[in-house]
Chains A and B, each alone.
Chain A
Amino acid sequence: MATSLEAVPAIRRKLEYVVEAIDIKKYYKMGKIIVKALDGISFNVKRGEYVSIMGPSGSGKTTLFNMIGGLDKPTSGKVYIEGVDIAMLDAYELAWLRANTIGYIFQTFNLIPVLTALENVMLPMIFVGTPYDQAIEKAKKLLEMVGLGKFIHHKPGELSGGQQQRVAAARALANDPALILADEPTGNLDLQTGLHLINLLKKINTEKKVTVVTATHDLKMVDVSDRIIWIRDGRIEKIELRREIKAEAGEEV
Chain B
Amino acid sequence: MAEEKKEKTVLPFNEALYMVVRSIKQRFGRILIVIIAITASIAYMVSLDLLSPILASSIPKEGVGIYTFLLDVTAFIVAATGTMNSLLIMIAERYHEIGTMKSFGARDIHIFELLVLETIILTIIGGFLGYIIGLGIGYGLGGTGDPGYLFGKAMLIAVIIGFISSSYPAYQAARMSPVEALRYEV
Assembled-state Cα–Cα distance A113/B93 (Å): 12
Residues of A contacting B4 with CB < 8 Å? Answer: 4-5, 7-8, 96, 100
Is B178 in the interface zone, CB < 8 Å from A? yes
A152 at the interface (CB under 8 A from B): no
| Interface pair A96/B9, CB less than 8 Å apart | yes
Known contacts A110-B96, A114-B26, A98 near B1 by CB under 8 Å: no
**Given A7-B4, A92-B8, A126-B15, is A71 in contact with B177 using a C-beta cutoff of 8 Å?**
yes
Residue of B1, B25, B99, B105 near A99 (CB, 8 A) is B105
Which A residues from 109 to 131 make CB contacts under 8 A with B? 110-115, 123-124, 126-129
Does A1 interact with chain B (Cβ within 8 Å)?
yes
Q: B7 on the interface (CB 8 Å rule)?
A: yes
Interface pair B103/A83, CB less than 8 Å apart: no
| A66 in contact with B9 (CB, 8 Å) | no
Closest Cβ of chain A to B2, distance in Å, is 9
A234 to chain B, nearest CB (A): 17
* Chain A contacts for B1, CB-based, 8 A: 7, 11, 82-84
Q: Does B61 contact A (CB under 8 A)?
A: no
Most buried by A among B27, B100, B102, B107: B100
Interface set, chain B 1-45, CB cutoff 8 A to A: 1, 3-12, 15, 19, 22-23, 25-27
Contact A114 B9 (CB under 8 A): no
Q: Are A112 and B100 in contact (CB under 8 A)?
A: yes
Is there an interface contact between B11 and A72, defined as CB atoms closer than 8 Å?
Answer: no
- Residue of A66, A99, A174 with most chain B CB atoms under a 10 A cut-off: A99
Q: How far is the CB of B20 from chain A (nearest CB, A)?
A: 9
B179 contacts A104, CB within 8 Å? no
Q: Does A55 contact B (CB under 8 A)?
A: no
Contact A114 B177 (CB under 8 A): no
Complex contact B104–A114 (CB within 8 A): no
Segment 67-89 of B: residues with Cβ below 8 Å from A: none
Instruction: Report if B106 contacts A (CB, 8 A).
Output: yes
11 residue pairs bridging A and B, Cβ less than 8 Å apart = A7-B4, A69-B103, A71-B179, A82-B1, A96-B4, A96-B5, A115-B19, A126-B11, A126-B12, A126-B15, A127-B11
Chain A residues engaging chain B, CB cutoff 8 angstroms: 1, 3-5, 7-8, 11, 66, 69, 71-72, 82-84, 89, 91-93, 95-96, 98-100, 102, 104, 106, 108, 110-115, 123-124, 126-129, 171, 174-175
Known: A100-B105, A127-B9, A128-B7. 16 other contacts (CB 8 A): A4-B4, A7-B1, A92-B9, A96-B5, A96-B8, A98-B105, A99-B9, A99-B105, A104-B104, A106-B100, A112-B19, A114-B19, A126-B10, A126-B15, A127-B11, A127-B110
